[in-house]
Every structure is written in C-alpha cells, then in structure tokens.
Amino acid sequence: IAMENALRQALVLGQFQLHYQPQVDATGWHTGAEALIRWSDPVRGMVPPDRFIPLAEETGLIIEIGQWVLDTACAQLAQWATDPARQNLQISVNVSARQFHQSDFVERVRRSLAASGANPARLMLELTESIVIDRVDEVIDRMEQLNVVGVKFSLDDFGTGYSSLSCLKRLPLDEVKIDRSFVRDLVDDSNDAAIVQAILAMSHSLGLRVVAEGVETLAQRDFLLTRGCETFQGYLFGKPAPIAQWAGSGHSRG
Ligand code: G
Ligand code: G
Ligand code: MN
Ligand code: NA
C-alpha cells in the first residue's frame, strides 16, 4: 500500500521521467528511440520500471501512467518535428495489456497525438503477446483503427511467449523486436543463431521490419547485419538516457 500511494503521488508530483534509447539502421544512422519510463523517488532513488510497472498494472494506475508516457512521447515527437536533424525520428512506446484494453484506448491515443501536434506516422506502439491472450478480434480492430491514422505497431520481446507465431500471423504489425535473450549469445550459441535467422527470414517474408534488442557488441551487430536485420538497439549504440543527454541527432557508427 505504501508503494501504491507513493506511485499515485509520483504522478501528481511529476516524479516520472522518460529515458530514450536510440535505434540505428545498418549504416549507424539513428532511426528513432524507445521511450522507457523511470521513477525518480526522493526516498527510493531511481526506481526501474520492473519494480513498479507490475504494481501499476495490478492497481490500474498504469492507465494514468501510460497516458503520461504517451503524452510525453508525443510532445517529444512534436518538438523533434521542428528540428531538421531529428524530424524523421520515430518514438516507440511500450503499451501494457491493461492500458490497451481500456475501452477508450484508441480515442486516447488519437487525442494525445492531436493535442501535441505529433505526426502519427512517427509513433510506434510496442505490444507484447500478453495483450492478445484473449479478445484477439478486438485487439486487431483497435490496431486497424490506429493504423488508419498512421500509427504503427511493433511486437516486443518476440519469441519469449507461447503464441508468437499466431501473433505474427494475425496482427497488423509493422515490426518485430527480437528479444535480447536470443541476441545475447547468438555469436557462440548455434541454437540462438538458428532461432535469430529463422525470425529474420519469417518476419521478412511477412513484410515486417526487424529490430534486434540488446545489441552490446560489434560481433553481434555484424552477425545480425549480414543476415539482413535492419534495425539495432542496445548498449553498443547507447543506453537509455534523458533527452538532454540524448545524442540521437545523426550518425553513430558502432
Ligand atoms: O528500461 P528497462 O530495461 O529497465 O525496462 C524494463 C521493462 O519495463 C521493459 O520490459 C519495458 O518494456 C518496461 N517499460 C519501460 N517503460 C515502460 C512504459 O512506459 N510502459 C510500460 N507499460 N512498460 C514499460
Ligand atoms: O521493452 P523491453 O522489455 O524490451 O525493454 C528494454 C529493456 O532492455 C530496458 O530495460 C533496457 O534498459 C534494456 N536494454 C536495452 N539495451 C540493452 C542492452 O544492450 N543490454 C541489456 N542487458 N539490456 C538492455
Ligand atoms: Mn519494449
Ligand atoms: Na523486449
């Protein structure tokens, strides 16, 4: 309860921040960033999302927190739109299942875009399989409504769930993110290498862009690059950082 109240207060007191982690293409150019929430609590210090997102989901606070994330990311997009060096960058926003399933989710996303003036085509919403556990038709319908205004969707943590393939088959996705558990050892572990190659082949034949997460070494990047992966995210290119420290304006060859 103490933690729940503190979370509630955190919204009121403005203790949440978004950090941004760069995503880069094959040549090292930034294509965008994933927005990752942080809670800066005066007592607890910097609390990572793993420590409060589950509680926020249980208590329903994720609705308001998720709205804050969306509004903040859209405001950032609108600001980048005025900067010639950054106007083509996109922002990926994580959406939790409970947030996605609220009845007015589509309307809330549209309102957030309209209020900020952000270009909807620069917004990528990251969904996980947990969203699709039931009500698949409703999920598809909502995704299509947002597709119409230009918003795109990414399937996060791909390969870690039980229904990854059926999600790929049924959902109107633009992108798949290879979970970092497959990237970590892909250079030495032939099973991980085989899985990653299969994900790339399958995704590409379905017309989906692939982002590899957790890329930490040049060897991992080169392996992925030679097998056709087009986008990379990981400590090799940059850790999640506040926007003031974000170096994502131009080239960053790894
Ligand atoms: O940044 P970090 O690697 O610590 O993030 C840990 C987890 O928290 C990731 O699984 C990420 O998807 C999740 N997360 C980060 N930011 C958000 C957010 O704004 N909303 C939701 N729902 N999850 C987030
Ligand atoms: O949304 P998702 O579950 O994919 O969250 C991304 C998480 O991965 C964030 O917590 C982020 O801090 C973390 N992360 C990003 N890049 C790397 C990396 O290169 N290595 C490791 N170990 N973690 C990373
Ligand atoms: Mn993510
Ligand atoms: Na992930």
Q: Which of 253, 248, 254, 252 is nearest to 88 (CA)?
A: 248
Instruction: For residue 14, tell me if it sits in a domain.
Output: no
Instruction: For residue 244, tell me if it sits in a domain.
Output: no
Please give the pLDDT value at position 66.
98
Please give the pLDDT value at position 253.
41
The low-confidence residues of the chain, meaning pLDDT below 50, are 252-254
Instruction: For residue 252, tell me if it sits in a domain.
Output: no
Instruction: For residue 17, tell me if it sits in a domain.
Output: no
Instruction: For residue 172, tell me if it sits in a domain.
Output: yes
Residue type, 240: P
Q: What is the ipTM of this complex?
A: 0.95
Please give the pLDDT value at position 162.
83
Does residue 213 have its Cβ closer than 6 Å to ligand 2? yes
Instruction: For residue 225, tell me if it sits in a domain.
Output: yes
Please give the pLDDT value at position 153.
98
Does residue 240 have its Cβ closer than 6 Å to ligand 1? yes
Question: How many domains are contained in the chain?
Answer: 1
Please give the pLDDT value at position 249.
55
Instruction: For residue 6, tell me if it sits in a domain.
Output: no
CB 187 within 8 A of CB 220: yes
Residue 226's domain comprises 62-237
Residue list, CB under 5 A from ion ligand 3: 94, 126, 156
Q: What is the DSSP letter of 160?
A: S
CB 212 within 8 A of CB 224: yes
> What DSSP assignment string belongs to 68-124?
HHHHHHHHHHHHHTT-TTTTT-EEEEE--HHHHHSTTHHHHHHHHHHHHT--GGGEE
Does residue 171 have its Cβ closer than 6 Å to ligand 2? no
CATH number of 126's domain: 3.20.20.450
